[in-house]
């Protein structure tokens, strides 16, 4: 379906257009041409400088964007030379696996996905665009494999085990048969789950439990809806800010992204979280000071409240998008009623301004709180009196409750989101919400843990927001309890 394929990739390519039009790239190329370089050399040299700079950045997502810069520059140089790149994927047989050092969005644009079942790349991470495209196309991608990739030769038979993260080269017939059987079982399970695509999950006592999805961008909203999500429970807006290499996205840019997401959702809820930067996520153009304890530092709503202009641009964009769908606003890392009230005041101020300017928005837009600090849990009753809903961020709530850094691999054996303390925190949050007649959901990774689904439902959870690929598993689990 060519149209679907083009739509699926449009976000990646609009990012590429932005790179091609980037003033830094343009100025650098123009200066080099004025200094006497040929246009092609000037593009090559500017590209090396800019992508080299990006590779030095701490943030993994931004580092990945260096690949995009190189990709765009290669295309510009080809255009300057007037040479069309030959399509290296023209002669692939069926069930092909593409193995490459790196794959760019332009490479993938040349692929016939009816013949490709997987990618293996030496470089890249799960946030790279090739992964986004792989997800959209439902092909398996194993990226960042490293130098081991040299062990694979053209023509080898490969098995990609995405569950274990293993690549098997030239497997014996018994292994191949074992994997083909597993693949059939997984496919049968996938088809079984598809029956739950149009169902609503309801508990034995007739209480509906919404199964929402978490997304990082507007493109993924489409994936989530196709995957059967009842709505979007967490749109992580910071990815929009990370996509912009040198400055904050302005109100209009944000409005367009949120409006597109709202239109895709129609009547479904679209809960957009305001900027959650800081901790492990940095914006290079923000020049935030280095901190001893970034996770206890200047992050999330604390940044928004101390940078009113930045916050207002986002709130205005969200309000304007609310005229096009069922948008709700959610604030991350709230620790007190006072913080929530301050955030709400900004919403009210922006509403008044938009009203004066005659710009449409939903005056009854709901505002909710991400419950991810013990302080918010312990004051859930106070917060619920004023917030419209709660969404529990178990990733952060676990680290703050257990005093364990969620990023530190050495602590993996101690980071236990099943800890009774975390589960009690969840119960307290739900109870606090219900006493005030509000709803509570979970949008942290724990929400997708199907060994706990029954327990969450018994606790009275109203919504679970999970990765799009987990929507049907979670919904089937709830339906099977009935
Ligand atoms: C969480 O903390 O559980 C959460 C959903 O937010 P993030 O993972 O983006 O911090
Ligand atoms: Mg969080």
Residue nearest ligand 1's atom 9 by CA = 236
Integer Cα distance of 157 and 168 in angstroms? 8
Q: In the predicted model, is pLDDT for residue 246 greater than 90? A: no
Ion ligand 2, residue ranges at CB < 5 A: 372, 393, 396
Query: Which is more confident, 170 or 76?
Result: 170
Q: What is the pLDDT of residues 125-148, one digit of tens each?
A: 665 667 766 766 678 888 888 899
Instruction: Say if ligand 1 is within 6 A of residue 372 CB.
Output: yes
Average confidence (pLDDT) over 222-226: 90
Instruction: Say if ligand 1 is within 6 A of residue 395 CB.
Output: yes
pLDDT band of residue 10 (cuts 50, 70, 90) is low
With beta carbons less than 8 A apart as the criterion, state whether 329 and 318 touch: yes
What percent of the chain is predicted at pLDDT more than 90?
58
- Measure 42 CA to ligand 2 centroid, in angstroms: 43
Q: In the predicted model, is pLDDT for residue 3 greater than 90? A: no
Average confidence (pLDDT) over 325-348: 98
What pLDDT score does 67 carry?
Answer: 82
Q: What mean pLDDT value characterizes the chain?
A: 89
Instruction: Say if ligand 1 is within 6 A of residue 393 CB.
Output: yes
Helix axes 218-226, 129-137, angle to 10 degrees: 20
Ligand 1, closest atom to CA 332? 6
Q: How is residue 101 written in tokens?
A: 């050092």
Residue nearest ligand 1's atom 1 by CA = 393
Place of tokens 């290296």: 88
- Measure 395 CA to ligand 1 centroid, in angstroms: 5
Q: What is the pLDDT of residues 419-433, one digit of tens each?
A: 999 999 999 999 999
- Measure 333 CA to ligand 1 centroid, in angstroms: 9
What percent of the chain is predicted at pLDDT more than 70?
94
Average confidence (pLDDT) over 180-204: 83
Instruction: Say if ligand 1 is within 6 A of residue 396 CB.
Output: yes
Lowest mean pLDDT across 97-111, 201-215, 330-344? 97-111
- Measure 465 CA to ligand 1 centroid, in angstroms: 11
Active-site residue flag, 443: yes
Which residue in 383, 468, 454 sits closest to 423, CA to CA?
454
What pLDDT score does 129 carry?
Answer: 65
Residue nearest ligand 1's atom 3 by CA = 393
| Residue-wise burial string across 59-94, b where 16 or more C-beta atoms lie within 10 A, e elsewhere | bebbbbbbbbbbbbbbbbbeeeeeeeeeeebeeeee
- pTM for the whole structure: 0.72
**Catalytic residue, candidates 16, 129, 131, 350:** 129
């Amino acid at each position: 379906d060519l149209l679907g394929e083009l739509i699926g990739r449009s976000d990646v390519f609009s990012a590429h257009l932005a790179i091609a039009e980037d003033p830094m790239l343009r100025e650098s190329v123009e200066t080099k041409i004025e200094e006497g370089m040929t246009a092609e050399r000037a593009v090559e040299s500017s590209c090396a400088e800019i992508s080299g700079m990006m590779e030095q950045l701490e943030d993994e997502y931004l580092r990945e964007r260096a690949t995009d810069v190189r990709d765009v520059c290669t295309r510009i140089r080809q255009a300057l030379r007037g040479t069309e790149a030959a399509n290296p994927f023209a002669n692939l047989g069926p069930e092909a696996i593409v193995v490459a050092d790196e794959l760019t969005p332009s490479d993938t644009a040349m692929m016939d996905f009816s013949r490709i079942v997987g990618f293996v790349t030496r470089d890249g991470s799960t946030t790279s665009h090739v992964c986004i495209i792989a997800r959209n196309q439902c092909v398996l991608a194993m990226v960042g494999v490293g130098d081991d990739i040299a062990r694979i030769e053209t023509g080898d038979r490969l098995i990609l085990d995405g569950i274990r993260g293993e690549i098997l080269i030239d497997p014996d017939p018994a292994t191949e048969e074992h994997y083909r059987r597993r693949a059939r079982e997984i496919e049968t399970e996938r088809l079984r789950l598809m029956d739950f695509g149009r169902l609503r999950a309801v508990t034995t006592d007739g209480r509906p439990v919404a199964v929402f999805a978490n997304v990082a961008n507007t493109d993924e909203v489409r994936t989530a809806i196709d995957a059967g999500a009842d709505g979007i429970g967490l749109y992580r807006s910071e990815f929009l800010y990370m996509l912009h290499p040198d400055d904050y996205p302005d109100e209009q840019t944000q409005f367009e992204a949120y409006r597109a997401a709202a239109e895709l959702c129609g009547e479904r809820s679209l809960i957009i979280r305001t900027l959650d930067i800081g901790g492990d996520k940095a914006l290079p153009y923000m020049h935030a000071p280095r901190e001893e304890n970034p996770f206890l530092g200047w992050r999330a709503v604390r940044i928004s409240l101390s940078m009113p202009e930045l916050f207002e641009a986002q709130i205005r964009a969200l309000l304007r998008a609310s005229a096009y769908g069922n948008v709700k606003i959610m604030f991350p890392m709230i620790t007190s009623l006072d913080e929530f009230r301050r955030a709400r005041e900004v919403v009210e101020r922006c509403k008044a301004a938009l009203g004066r300017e005659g710009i449409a928005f939903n005056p009854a837009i709901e505002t909710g709180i991400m419950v991810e600090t013990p302080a918010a849990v312990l004051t859930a009753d106070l917060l619920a009196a004023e917030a419209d809903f709660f969404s529990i961020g178990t990733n952060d709530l676990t680290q703050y409750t257990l005093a364990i850094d969620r990023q530190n691999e050495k602590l993996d054996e101690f980071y236990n989101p099943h800890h009774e303390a975390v589960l009690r925190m969840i119960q307290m949050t739900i109870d606090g919400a219900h006493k005030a007649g509000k709803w509570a959901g979970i949008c942290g990774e724990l929400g997708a843990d199907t060994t706990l689904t029954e327990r969450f439902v018994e606790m009275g959870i109203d919504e679970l927001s999970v990765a799009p690929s987990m929507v049907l598993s979670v919904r089937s689990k709830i339906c099977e309890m009935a």
